[in-house]
Copies of this chain bind each other. A is one copy, B any other.
Amino acid sequence: MQITDADRRILRQMMAEPGLSVADLAERAGVTAATCWRRIERLREAGVLRGEHAVINWHALGWEVEVSLRFTLDKTDPRAFDEFTVAAREVPEVIEIQSFLGSTDMRLQIIARDMAHYQQIYRKRILTLPHIAELDALMLVSTIKSSAELAL
């Protein structure tokens, strides 16, 4: 798919001010609402726009503990990656799963109500994940920036 300057302006605006209506987006991107809508539709069909994501402030909801866990897997078993991933997806407190090339294989981000809750998840759901060779945990203090304002 060919991405025009107008597409780029729309995408940039979506990143800069998420949640804007199509009409407002159109105005800021310098196109009419109908055009903007059709472009968004095209971007969706082309797989550039994957959908929407509600951004929730877990802290305000009383989920105080956020942890980033890095795993090295036991690569002697070729099924390690798949089985680890499938098992990790099933833990509801896991809010992000990333896979890497390098010494670390996977990263999970986890939220919990408090330390006691985290301990419980850690022992019952994390340490029981399959094929873990090594693991190290970092307590998250804050997420400062979580978006992009790129010159596409």
Contact = CB atoms under 8 A, between A and B. Distances in A.
A77 interface: no
The quantity of this chain's copies bound in the complex is 2
A5 interface: no
Interface of A: 1, 3, 11, 14-15, 18-19, 46-57, 60-61, 68, 85, 88-89, 92-104, 107, 111, 137-152
Given A85-B144, A99-B140, A55 B51 contact: yes
A47 B59 CA distance: 10
A68 B55 CA distance: 21
A92 B150 contact: yes
B56 A54 contact: no
